[in-house]
Every structure is written in structure tokens, then in C-alpha cells.
């Protein structure tokens, strides 16, 4: 007799979506009572087997929006004795682990198994897990494509495939792998695509691989007029060369519960982490060049709140969901307003307050307007706090800690110390010494460096033809491009994705500033925004691509 699928009683908002009772029972234990907008709109369609395109950013609950109905459908298949599985494609190993854990958490009473596959781990262990049988595979595109080429992935069982954070995967250069994976899966399948933004390349893949999809867009809720925003957004105008000192000063003023500082390159994360450690902050770097064991250890410390500040590249931090995060700091202005929104969506969840701080060069002031239009919230231009203001704030925090101890009742075990000290000096002197010790114990290193003040520029007159690109232009052609020579080519197995990944991840150059790529047998040529070429050469000096050392320099021939 086949196993029946129970339907849940109407006990909460999720029950009304027709999910298996075992799923809603688990949600009740997790205190999930009401679905978010993306969940409420997506779950019924996914449960019915429809293809779907969902536009929703971080913090909207999209993982549960696809995980719950997919688990429901897999449970139905299991009850009907059908051999079915699901595949989830994600951009990073961290997100792969998180999504796999979400499937395990939601589906623990159904008896379905989820497994994460990503680079940096043993192929053989992943092969053995796939051979044993997995109900839900959560994978990064590069590693999964490797398994498919080796015939190790049971693609014929896949009844549903989900592309999570599709725009991020394309930005990381996984377009070819994604198309190859989708083309190699059964034609009769359900396909779901979720993305924070919908650029043209996402529209193209939607047209090619999805069948009459339902389209859902969940916009960021607009602030109610007169209501104080949950997330405070501030930008500081900072002179070049003073950003590390400014960051330390701001962290000293803000005293975050936990903060992520976004940087462009792995070298910058390490340099900035050293600065913060020297000033007494509990900080650690997170970037793509770290071993998986190191990354896991850093994330464990950050989740446990042992670390206060995580200094990370965008790639390394994608997909991280930290419930206690209080601050997001953009060490540079993000390359697009959408990236800013994606980062800022990590704070202010579930009614909590949060802070987004951005350090900008005076030339970038006008770019804030595009972000304000997208977020529908003003970004305050703030002055960098002075040394005197920082010291005043630190003294205030010392007073707050002392009041907390007084209200809780000081421990009697310190009375003998007090009695002995009062024999040596008067009460005021003893009290001042104790306050001084408490103050020094709770503060980072002394900060005596004054940071030059930068004054905001006057607003520009509106331009009739839209915003002007401030980058140098070829006459009549667009931004000036330079050409870089890489000393590795086809014989080393180099692909365009390898080159784009190195330039984007190591040097922090956005993909929109990378042009045509030519790969020969023993070298490669890449067009890059001219003003970024020297920065790329410096950052990629003595770096490695596919384990081989590569030399990078400006190509001697001009860009045609």
C-alpha cells in the first residue's frame, strides 16, 4: 500500500498553502507562522508544478519559497514510488551549504536527503554520495558541470531544477556551465529561477529553458510616511588614503553587535583586517582564496558572535544569512545600486534596526542619487567623527556598562579589595582609578589621528540626456579600453570564465568593465576599462590561475 500524503489542518498561514502536514508541523516548531509575500505567492504555483521566475532580494524568504513546495512534490513522488530528485544551483559554496541545511531542516520528518556539492572538496566523496542516492542536490555550477562531464551525476532523475541568485551566478562567469547543465537535464521537468535583478541575459535564459513561467516580483516595502526607517543609511565623504582610519573611527562610534565590511579584493580584506586587529577590534577576513576549513572556522566564530567584524569580498559573502547582523559597511561605493540594495537587505530584518554605512570618495557623491531612487530612502551625508567625539562616545559607553553593573548588583567577592584600597587612598581616587581601568578594558587602541574634513559638492544641474559616464571616452564609441596580456592560454586550459573570475574577484573590476577576450595557445588578451588596467596588473602580480603562475601586463599593441 502506497504512503499517503497528509494535508495540514488550517493552523497557520502556511497551512492554507496546501503543504504536506509534516512540513507545516516542522515550520511550527521553528515558529514560522505567516508566509512572506514571496512564499505566499510562489508556493501554490510551485506545488502545482508550474515553472516560475521570482524576482526577490536577500531577506525575503525565497529559500523557503522554493524549498517547501519542492519537498512537498518530492514527498508526493516518493509516495507514488517514483524515483525523483531536485537540483538547486547556487553561486557560492557558503550558499550551497546554507540551502542544503534549509532543505534538511524543513524536510527532516519526510525522510528526504539533501547534499551540497561545491569546489574545494574531494570529488570522490561527492561521487560516492551521488552514487548512494540523494533527493536534493545543492551545487555550484562549476563543480556540478565537472560531475556531469564525468558521468557521475544522475541527471535523469531530476524532476525540478532551481536557479537561486541567478544574476550572481552569471556575474561570476557561470553562464556557459548553467546552459550546459540545463540542456543536459530531462526536458520534462519543473524549472524555477530566482534573482534579485533581471538583466537581459536572465531574460534570455528564461525564454530558452522555462515553459510559460509564472512571474512574481516582490519589491522592497516602502517606508510609511512619517515612520522612522528600520535601517539607517549614511555615507561619509573620505579623502583618499584615510579610509582605513575612518572605518576604525566609525566602528568605534557605532559599537556594532556584528558588522560585515565589504571590500573589492582579497588583498584589501587582509590589509584592512590587520588594521582593525591592531586597533583592538575582533575582526577576520573572508575571501575566495582561503581554504574551506579556514572559511568554515571564520563563519563559525562570526555566527557565535566571537568575531565582531567580518571583512569580506562580495563573492565570499554571497548567500550568508546572519540573524544578529547589525551593520553593513561598504568600504567602497558598490558598483551598482542593485548591489547596494542586496547588501543592505542583510540588516533590518524581522523588525530589527540596522545600519548601512558607505565610505565614498568626493567624486562618487552624485552616484548616491541612483541608490536613493532605487531604495526610496534618503542617504545622509555625515562628517567623519573627530577624535574628541570618539572619546566622548567611549566614555558614554563606559558609563552605560557601569550603570548595568550597579543595577545588577556588584559581586560581594570584590568587597575585600575595596576595603583594602580604601585604606590606601580616599574613595574618590579609588573610584576614578576603577573607572579608568574599566574604560581602558572596554575600548580599542587610542585613536589620535585627525582625519581631514571633506565638504559635499553642490548639487549638479539636471542633465537632459541622463547621467553622464565620467570615464574617459573614445570619440563616439564609449569608455576607453586598454588591453591586458596574460601569459597563459588554451594549452593551460584557460577559459574566458577563468580570466573574468581572476579580474573580477582578485582586482574587484565589475564584469561590465571587461570587454572582448581572445585566447591563443600560450597567451590571452583581455580588454579592460583603461583606467582599471594598472590596478589589475598590480593586483594580479604573481597570482595563479588554475594553479599556474601567470604574468600580467599591458599589451603593447593598441586596442583596435
Asked if residue 117 lies in contact with residue 166, where contact means CB atoms within 8 angstroms, the answer is no
pLDDT of residue 476: 41
pLDDT at 258 over 80: yes
pLDDT, averaged across the chain:
80
| Per-residue pLDDT at 350 | 56
3 state DSSP class of 270: helix
Q: In sequence order, what are the beta bridge partners of 519?
A: 524
| Residue 33: all three cell numbers together | 507562522
pLDDT at 495 over 80: yes
> What domains appear along the chain, each with residue ranges and CATH number?
15-217 (3.40.50.300), 231-386 (3.40.50.300), 388-441 (no CATH), 475-554 (3.30.70.330)
pLDDT at 74 over 50: yes
425: left (phi over 0), alpha (psi -120 to 50) or beta: beta
Going by pLDDT thresholds of 50, 70 and 90, the confidence category of residue 460 is: very low
What is the rounded radius of gyration, in angstroms, for the C-alpha atoms of the chain?
A: 27
Rounded to whole angstroms, how far apart are CA atoms 363 and 339? 19
User: Quick one: pLDDT band at residue 475, thresholds 50, 70, 90?
Assistant: very low
Residue 477: φ, ψ to 5°: -125, -20
Q: What is the reported pLDDT for 360? A: 86
Determine the Cα–Cα distance for residues 236 and 360; give it in Å rounded to an integer: 6
* Per-residue pLDDT band at 502 (split at 50, 70, 90): confident
Segment 394-419 mean pLDDT: 72
Assign 262 a pLDDT band (cuts: 50, 70, 90): very high
pLDDT digits (tens, 9 = 90+) for 155-177: 788 999 999 989 888 877 788 88
Alpha helices in 255-313 (DSSP H): 266-278, 292-303
- The confidence band for 76, taking pLDDT boundaries of 50, 70 and 90, is very high
Q: What is the pLDDT of residue 471?
A: 43
**pLDDT of res. 164:** 93
Distance CA 287, CA 270 (A): 9
User: Can you give 12-63 as a three-state secondary structure string?
Assistant: CCCHHHCCEHHHHHHHHHCCCCCCCHHHHHHHHHHHCCCCEEEECCCCCCHH
In the structure grid, which three cell numbers stand for residue 465, read together? 540626456
Pairing of strands 52-55, 85-89: unpaired
Least confident of 8-22, 183-197, 416-430, 443-457: 443-457
Residue 33 has pLDDT above 60, yes or no: yes
Q: How confident is the model at residue 9 (pLDDT cuts 50, 70, 90)?
A: very low
Average pLDDT estimate for 433-448 = 62
Would you give the DSSP letter of residue 484?
A: E
Q: Flag the least confident range among 202-216, 359-373, 393-407.
A: 393-407
Give the model's confidence band at 50: pLDDT under 50 very low, under 70 low, under 90 confident, else very high.
very high
DSSP annotation of 466 reads -
Amino acid at each position: 500500500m502506497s504512503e499517503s500524503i497528509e494535508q495540514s489542518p488550517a493552523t497557520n498561514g502556511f497551512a492554507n498553502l496546501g503543504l504536506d502536514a509534516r512540513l507545516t508541523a516542522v515550520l511550527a516548531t521553528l515558529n514560522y507562522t505567516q508566509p512572506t509575500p514571496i512564499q505566499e505567492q510562489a508556493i501554490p504555483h510551485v506545488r502545482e508544478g508550474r515553472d516560475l521566475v521570482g524576482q526577490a532580494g536577500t531577506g525575503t524568504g525565497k529559500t523557503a519559497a522554493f524549498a517547501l513546495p519542492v519537498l512537498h512534490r518530492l514527498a508526493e513522488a516518493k509516495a507514488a514510488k517514483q524515483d525523483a530528485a531536485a537540483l538547486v544551483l547556487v553561486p557560492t559554496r557558503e550558499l550551497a551549504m546554507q540551502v542544503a541545511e534549509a532543505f534538511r531542516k524543513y524536510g527532516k520528518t519526510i525522510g528526504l536527503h539533501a547534499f551540497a556539492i561545491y569546489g574545494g572538496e574531494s570529488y570522490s566523496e561527492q561521487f560516492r554520495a551521488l552514487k548512494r542516492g540523494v533527493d536534493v542536490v545543492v551545487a555550484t555550477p562549476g563543480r556540478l558541470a565537472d560531475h556531469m562531464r564525468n558521468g557521475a551525476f544522475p541527471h535523469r532523475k531530476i524532476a525540478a531544477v532551481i536557479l537561486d541568485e541567478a544574476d550572481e551566478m552569471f556575474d561570476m562567469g557561470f553562464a556557459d556551465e548553467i546552459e550546459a547543465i540545463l540542456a543536459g537535464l530531462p526536458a520534462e521537468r519543473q524549472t524555477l529561477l530566482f534573482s534579485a535583478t533581471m538583466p537581459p541575459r536572465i531574460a534570455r535564459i528564461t525564454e530558452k529553458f522555462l515553459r510559460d513561467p509564472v512571474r512574481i516580483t516582490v519589491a522592497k516595502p516602502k517606508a510609511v510616511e512619517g515612520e522612522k526607517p528600520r535601517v539607517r543609511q549614511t555615507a561619509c565623504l573620505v579623502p583618499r588614503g584615510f579610509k582605513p582610519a575612518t572605518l576604525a573611527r566609525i566602528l568605534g562610534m557605532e559599537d556594532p553587535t556584528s558588522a560585515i565590511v565589504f571590500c573589492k579584493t582579497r588583498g584589501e580584506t587582509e590589509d584592512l583586517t590587520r588594521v582593525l586587529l591592531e586597533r583592538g577590534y575582533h575582526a577576520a577576513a573572508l575571501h575566495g582564496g582561503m581554504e574551506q576549513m579556514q572559511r568554515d572556522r571564520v563563519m563559525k566564530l562570526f555566527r557565535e558572535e566571537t568575531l565582531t567584524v567580518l571583512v569580506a569580498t562580495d563573492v565570499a559573502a554571497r548567500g550568508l544569512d546572519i540573524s544578529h547582523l547589525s551593520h553593513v559597511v561598504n568600504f567602497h561605493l558598490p558598483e551598482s545600486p542593485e548591489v547596494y540594495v542586496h547588501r543592505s537587505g542583510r540588516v533590518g530584518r524581522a523588525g530589527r534596526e540596522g545600519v548601512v554605512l558607505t565610505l565614498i570618495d568626493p567624486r562618487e557623491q552624485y552616484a548616491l542619487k541612483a541608490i536613493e531612487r532605487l531604495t526610496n530612502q534618503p542617504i545622509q551625508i555625515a562628517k567623519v567623527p573627530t577624535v574628541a567625539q570618539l572619546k566622548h562616545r567611549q566614555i558614554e559607553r563606559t558609563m552605560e556598562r557601569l550603570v548595568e553593573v550597579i543595577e545588577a548588583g556588584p559581586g560581594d567577592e570584590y568587597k575585600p579589595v575595596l576595603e583594602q584600597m580604601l585604606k590606601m587612598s580616599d574613595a574618590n581616587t579609588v573610584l576614578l582609578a576603577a573607572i579608568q581601568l574599566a574604560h581602558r578594558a572596554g575600548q580599542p587602541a587610542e585613536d589620535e589621528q585627525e582625519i581631514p574634513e571633506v565638504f559635499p559638492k553642490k548639487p549638479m544641474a539636471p542633465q537632459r540626456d541622463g547621467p553622464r559616464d565620467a570615464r574617459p571616452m573614445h570619440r563616439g564609441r564609449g569608455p576607453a579600453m586598454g588591453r591586458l596580456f596574460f601569459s597563459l592560454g588554451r594549452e593551460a586550459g584557460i577559459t574566458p570564465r577563468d580570466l573574468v573570475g581572476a579580474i573580477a574577484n582578485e582586482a574587484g573590476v565589475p564584469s561590465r568593465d571587461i570587454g572582448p577576450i581572445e585566447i591563443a595557445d600560450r597567451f590571452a588578451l583581455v580588454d579592460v576599462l583603461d583606467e582599471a588596467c594598472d590596478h589589475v596588473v598590480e593586483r594580479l602580480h604573481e597570482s595563479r590561475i588554475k594553479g599556474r603562475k601567470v604574468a600580467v601586463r599591458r599589451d603593447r599593441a593598441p586596442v583596435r
